[in-house]
Structure 1
Amino acid sequence: MKNVLNLIKKSLIYILLFTVISVAVDLWRTRDFTSSQSPTTQATALSGNNIDLNALSQDKPVVVYFWATWCGACKFVTPTINWLSQYYDVVAISASSGEARRVQAFINSHDYHFENINDPRSQISSRWNLRVTPTIAIVENGEIKNITTGITTPIGLLARLWLL
């Protein structure tokens, strides 16, 4: 019994330490992000749908996912985003991933179903002042309510959405 309690205590310490480090890294990576107002983002998705992010976020939160086909960390996060797109509006923005045909082939080969805007020259990412992929922002009523970078878990994303 004593060993089990020790294991639980050590696990809680590691979880707390991991959480503190993750929050600190997020704060450091997003330190240049000064505005809570979402940059105007209007574009045509690969599906052909016209997307106005601020208008879309007026009724409910929108998950904005900046990623790249070449991004190693995105391989872990993108399946979570795909799953989340069943329950929330997701607008993905593929930065510096090549021409639209190539990005669409990548999305199809992985059976992803979220809306995606191709950003081959990272112009949208630059307007958002982002330098790290993956970056996930939650936008509601045209305002950025939460932003995180790097690998995140389904539970972490759901917690961010539920805490709005």
Structure 2
Amino acid sequence: MPKKSTLISRLLKNILLFGSLFIILSIVMDWYRKPTAPAQFAEQVLYDIEQQPKVIAQLSHNKPMLLYFWGSWCQFCDYTSPAIQQLAEQGTDVLGVALKSGSDSEVKQYLAKENYRFATLNDPSGKFSKSWDIQATPTILIIKDGKIINHTTGLTSYWGLKVRLWLAEFTQ
């Protein structure tokens, strides 16, 4: 029978190996799915479902903000959206984009049902998201001073976003 320390050593090596592979694969997938911002995106006046004007350059002035592409039909968004809401409650500016999630009233009903209160643009046809070359939901962009600092796609945790936002504070 193998020694207990040998089994623990193998287990730790396997965890390190598979953890490293997961991180590398995640980085490669994020690179492959990297969104492309449309020209002059930061100054464009966008209107959320409450018809309130939103300008990314203003929202991201001196402090990172999140541009969050999501869908009411997206199962990964079911996990990520509560983290986005929590960050919004803690003072992070968030602008959500509801991708192909129905009419304004359907998106409002969904947000109310889930108790999400972050500002949201409706993109019922996907035209706005296509202009950003969004290939997966959720896609989250961290923007500071009108520049994309970081992005991620797929399943994301609260702490993963919190660390990215903290790191973006030091970026110019």
TM-score (norm 2): 0.85
- Distance of 1:71 and 1:43 partners within structure 2: 23
- Distance of 1:11 and 1:157 partners within structure 2: 23
| Alignment pair present for 1:52 and 2:55 | yes
Query: How many percent identity over aligned positions?
Result: 31
Corresponding residue SS for 2:20: helix
Q: Number of residue pairs matched?
A: 162
2:46 equivalent in structure 1: 43
Supply the AA of the counterpart residue of 2:109. Answer: A
Greater Cα offset, 99-108 or 77-86: 77-86
Task: Report the Cα offset of residue 39 of structure 1.
Answer: 2.1
Task: Report the Cα offset of residue 125 of structure 1.
Answer: 1.0
- Distance of 2:8 and 2:135 partners within structure 1: 43
Corresponding residue SS for 2:130: helix
Structure 1 residue runs without a partner (length 5+):
none
User: Structure 1 residues 152, 140: CA separation in 2 closer, same or farther (over 3 Å shift)?
Assistant: same
Is residue 38–residue 142 contact of structure 1 (8 Å, CA) maintained in 2?
no
CA deviation map 1:31-66 (0-9, x unaligned): x63x69772442222234211112211121111100
Task: Report the Cα offset of residue 91 of structure 1.
Answer: 0.6
Task: Report the Cα offset of residue 160 of structure 1.
Answer: 1.3
Is residue 38–residue 131 contact of structure 2 (8 Å, CA) maintained in 1?
no
RMSD of the TM alignment (CA)? 2.0
User: Structure 1 residues 36, 24: CA separation in 2 closer, same or farther (over 3 Å shift)?
Assistant: farther
Q: Which runs of 4+ in 1 moved over 3 A?
A: 3-6, 35-38
Corresponding residue SS for 2:58: helix
CA deviation map 1:108-127 (0-9, x unaligned): 10111211111112232122
